[in-house]
Chains A and B, each alone.
Chain A
Amino acid sequence: MKAGLEFASRLVQERLDNGLRVVLLPDRSRPLVSVNIWYHVGSKNESPGHTGFAHLFEHMLFQGSQNVGTNDHFALIQQVGGVANGSTSYDCTNYYETLPSQCLELGLWLESDRMGFLLPALDEAKLQNQKDVVMNERRQRVDNQPYGRAFEILHELLYPKGHPYRWPVIGYMDDIAATTLAEVHEFFTTHYRPDNAVLTLVGDFEPHAALQLVRKYFEELPAGPKPPATPSLEAPEGPQPSSAPSVRHELRDAVNLPRLYLAWRGPALTAGDWPAGNLYSVATSGGKSSPLYRDLVLEHEIAQDVYVGMMPLELESTLMAVMTVRPGVDPTQAEKALLDRLRDWRVSPPHPGDFERAQNKTRVAHLHEVESFESRADLLSLFATHYGDAALIDSELERYAKVTPNDMLEFAHRYQDPERAVTLWVLPEESS
Chain B
Amino acid sequence: MAPDRSHPPAAQPARSFEFPDFERRSLGSGLELIRLAVDGLPLVHLRLLLTAGGHHASAGAPGLPSFTAALLDEGTSQRTGIELAAKIERLGGYLATGAGWDATVIETEVLAQDLGTGLALLAEVAREPSFPDHEIGRVRRQLQAEIKRREAQPSAVATKHFQRTLYQGTVYDTPLIGTHDALERMDREHVLDFYSHHVTPAGATLVAVGDITSEQLAEHAEGAFAGWTGDPIDRPRIEAKPQKAARIEIIDRPGAAQTEIRLGHVGIHRAHPRYLAAVVLSCLLGGKFTSRLNLNLREKRGFTYGVSSSFGKRSSPAPFVIATALANEHVGEALAETFGEIHRLLDEAPSDREVADTRDYLIGSFPYTVETLGGLAGRLSDLAVYDLGDDYYATQAQALGSISASELLDTARELLTPDRSVVVCVGPAEELRPQLEERFEAPITVLS
Give the A-B pair count, Cβ closer than 8 A: 223
The residue of chain B having its C-beta at the shortest distance from the C-beta of A288 within the complex is B85
In Å, the complex CA distance between A80 and B325 comes to: 29
Q: Tell me whether A31 and B152 are in contact (CB under 8 A).
A: no
From A287, which residue of chain B is reached at the shortest CB distance?
B89
B11 x A80 contact (CB < 8 A)? yes
Q: Are B94 and A298 in contact (CB under 8 A)?
A: no
Query: For chain A residues 118-159, which have a beta carbon within 8 Å of chain B?
Result: 128-137, 139-141, 143-146
Q: Which residues of B contact A298 (CB under 8 A)?
A: 81-82, 138
Known A1-B113, A140-B325, A256-B152: A81·B5 in contact at CB below 8 Å: no
Interface string of A264-308 (1 = CB under 8 A from B): 000000000000000000000011111000100110010010000
A367 part of interface (Cβ distance < 8 Å): yes
Query: CB < 8 Å: which of A84, A132, A134, A146 contacts B153?
Result: A146
The answer to whether B151 touches A256, judged by C-beta atoms less than 8 angstroms apart, is: yes
Report B-chain residues with C-beta under 8 Å of the C-beta of A31.
14-17, 367
Q: Given A109-B9, A146-B153, are A75 and B302 also a contact pair (CB < 8 Å)?
A: no
A194 CA to B252 CA, complexed, in Å: 50
**Most A-side CB within 10 Å, residue of B43, B148, B357, B365:** B365
**Is the CB of B392 closer than 8 A to any CB of chain A?**
no
Contact assessment for B145 and A136 in the assembled complex, using a CB-CB cutoff below 8 Å: no
Is the pair A144, B154 in contact by a Cβ cutoff of 8 Å? yes
Q: Does B347 contact A (CB under 8 A)?
A: no
B373 interface hit (Cβ, 8 Å):
yes
Counting contact residues on chain A (CB < 8 A from B), the size range is 35 or more
Say if the beta carbon of A406 comes within 8 Å of chain B: no
How many angstroms between the C-alpha atoms of A161 and B313 in the bound complex?
50
Q: Which of B342-367 contact A (CB under 8 A)?
A: 356-357, 360-367
Of the listed residues B13, B43, B85, B300, the one surrounded by the most CB atoms of chain A closer than 10 A to its CB is: B85
Give the docked Cα–Cα distance between A131 and B183 (Å): 45
CB-CB contacts of B24-59 with A at 8 A, as 1s and 0s? 000000000000000111110000000000000000
Q: Does A313 contact B (CB under 8 A)?
A: no
Q: Is the CB of A130 within 8 A of B302?
A: yes
- Measured CB to CB, the closest approach of chain B to A404, in angstroms, equals 18
Q: Report how far A83 CA is from B2 CA in the complex, Å.
A: 28
Do B15 and A101 have beta carbons less than 8 Å apart?
yes
Q: How far is the CB of A63 from chain B (nearest CB, A)?
A: 9
* Complex contact A100–B148 (CB within 8 A): no
- Whether B290 pairs with A71 at a CB distance below 8 angstroms is yes
B contact residues around A117 at 8 Å (CB): 5
Known A-B contacts A353-B86, A367-B41; the reply to A74 vs B149 at CB < 8 A is no
Shortest CB-to-CB span from B150 to chain A, Å, is 8
- A129-B302, A361-B92 known; A304-B11 Cβ under 8 A: no
- Chain B residue contacts of A81, Cβ below 8 A: 360-366
Contact A364 B149 (CB under 8 A): no
Please tell me which one of the listed residues A30, A254, A353, A364 contacts residue B367 in the complex, with CB atoms under 8 A apart.
Answer: A30
| Contact present for B368 and A83 (CB under 8 Å) | yes
A288: contacting residue among B89, B144, B253, CB under 8 A? B89
B-side interface size class: 35 or more
Q: How many angstroms between the C-alpha atoms of A130 and B43 in the bound complex? A: 42
- A217 and B3 contact, CB distance less than 8 A: yes
User: By the criterion CB–CB under 8 Å, are B371 and A371 in contact?
Assistant: yes
CB interface residues, B 132-172, toward A, < 8 Å:
138, 141-142, 144-146, 148-149, 151-154
The reply on B246 being an interface residue by CB < 8 A is no
In the bound complex, residues from chain B placing their C-beta under 8 Å from that of A367 are 41-43
Q: Is the pair A256, B361 in contact by a Cβ cutoff of 8 Å?
A: no
Contact between chains at A256 and B89 (CB < 8 Å): no
Please report the C-alpha to C-alpha distance between residue A84 and residue B365 in the assembled complex, in whole angstroms. Answer: 11
Interface contact A105-B9, CB-CB below 8 Å: yes
Q: A353–B90 contact, CB under 8 A?
A: yes
Q: In the complex the two chains form, is A357's CB within 8 Å of B303's CB?
A: no
| B373 CB contact (under 8 Å) in A100, A141, A204, A371 | A371
| Docked complex Cα distance between A1 and B149 (Å) | 44
B196 interface residue (CB < 8 Å to A): no
A364–B14 contact, CB under 8 A?
no
Cα–Cα, bound, A74→B327 (Å): 24
Q: Which residue of B lies closest to A372 (CB)?
A: B371
On chain A, the residues within 8 Å of B39 by CB distance are: 29
Let me know if A78 is at the binding interface, CB within 8 A: yes
Given A74-B290, A102-B13, A353-B90: A137 and B360 within 8 A (CB)? no
**Is A289 touching B89 in the complex (CB atoms < 8 A)?**
yes
**Is A82 touching B85 in the complex (CB atoms < 8 A)?**
no
B86 pairs with A289, CB closer than 8 A: yes
Q: Does A250 contact B (CB under 8 A)?
A: no
CB distance from A290 to the nearest CB of B (A): 8
Contacts of B104 in A (CB 8 A): none
Please tell me if A324 contacts chain B, counting CB pairs below 8 Å.
Answer: yes
Complex contact A304–B5 (CB within 8 A): no
> Contacts of A98 on B, CB cut-off 8 Å?
368
Chain A residues numbered 67-82 whose CB sits less than 8 Å from any CB in chain B: 67, 70-71, 74-76, 78-82
A144, A288, A290, A304: which contacts B145 (Cβ < 8 A)? A304
With a cutoff of 8 Å between Cβ atoms, the chain B residues found around residue A216 in the complex are 3
Task: Give every chain A residue within 8 A of B228 (Cβ-Cβ).
Answer: none
CA distance A109 to B7 in the complex (A): 9
Would A132 and B89 count as touching, CB distance under 8 A?
A: no
Are A304's CB and B142's CB within 8 A?
Answer: yes
Complex Cα distance, B112 from A363, in Å, reads: 13
Q: Are A361 and B302 in contact (CB under 8 A)?
A: no
A257 touches B148 (CB 8 A): yes
Residue of B nearest to A117 (CB): B5
Q: State whether the Cβ of A417 lies closer than 8 Å to any Cβ in chain B.
A: no
CB distance from A79 to the nearest CB of B (A): 4
- A387 and B4 alpha carbons, distance in the complex (Å): 35
The docked-state distance in angstroms from the alpha carbon of A359 to that of B2 is: 50
Residues of B within 8 A of A304 (CB): 142, 145-146, 149
Residues from chain A with a CB closer than 8 A to the CB of B15 are 31, 100-102, 204
A401 within 8 A of B: no
In the complex, are the beta carbons of B11 and A361 less than 8 A apart? no
Interface segment, one of B184-192, B219-227, B254-262: B254-262
Report the separation of the CA atoms of residues A412 and B142 in the bound assembly, to the nearest whole angstrom: 30
Interface flag for A232 (CB, 8 Å):
no
Q: Which residues of chain B come closer than 8 Å to A83, judged between CB atoms? A: 365, 368
Q: Is B440 an interface residue (CB 8 A)?
A: no
Whether A82 pairs with B90 at a CB distance below 8 angstroms is: no
Q: Say whether A326 contacts B365, CB under 8 Å.
A: no
The answer for the CA separation of A101 and B304 in the assembled complex, in Å, is: 33
* Chain B residues near A359 (CB-CB < 8 A): 92
A343 to chain B, nearest CB (A): 23
Set of chain B residues within 8 Å of A141, measured between Cβ atoms: 305
Q: Are B9 and A144 in contact (CB under 8 A)?
A: no
Of chain B, the residue at the smallest CB distance from A65 is B5
Distance from A53 Cβ to chain B, minimum over Cβ atoms (Å): 18
- Complex Cα distance A137/B138, Å? 37
Sorted from nearest, which 6 A-B pairs have the closest CB atoms? A81-B364, A132-B302, A360-B92, A143-B257, A289-B86, A139-B258
CB-defined A-B contacts under 8 Å, sample of 5: A75-B290, A81-B365, A101-B15, A102-B15, A137-B305
* Additional A-B contact list (12), CB under 8 Å, known A131-B302, A255-B149: A78-B357, A82-B365, A102-B13, A109-B8, A129-B301, A135-B327, A136-B325, A216-B3, A254-B152, A256-B149, A353-B90, A372-B372
